Amino acid sequence: MNWINFGDFLEMGGYGLYVWGSLGMCAATVVAELMVIRFRRRLLAQEAGDERATEEHTA
């Protein structure tokens, strides 16, 4: 076991900023990437639905 308590774990032997800055950026960008895909999917379904509605309207 490397850590005495949670504070010690966060401190990372004085390198907390660097270690958590690395892991944090990885987590943040992964979440962002997944959200972008989800957003694009929703937008596409919406646009396709709108197009369909216009087609039916004009037909």
CB of 3 closer than 8 Å to CB of 13? no
- Give the 3-state secondary structure percentages of the chain, helix then strand then coil, rounded to 5: 90, 0, 10
**29 belongs to the binding site for other proteins (CB under 8 A):** yes
**31 belongs to the binding site for other proteins (CB under 8 A):** no
Binding residues with other proteins: total (CB under 8 A): 30
**54 belongs to the binding site for other proteins (CB under 8 A):** no
* Distance of closest approach, residue 29 Cβ to other proteins, in angstroms: 6
DSSP 17-34: HHHHHHHHHHHHHHHHHH
> Where along the sequence are the contacts to other proteins (CB under 8 A)?
1-3, 9, 12-15, 17-19, 21-23, 25-26, 29-30, 33-34, 37, 40-41, 44-45, 47-49, 51-52
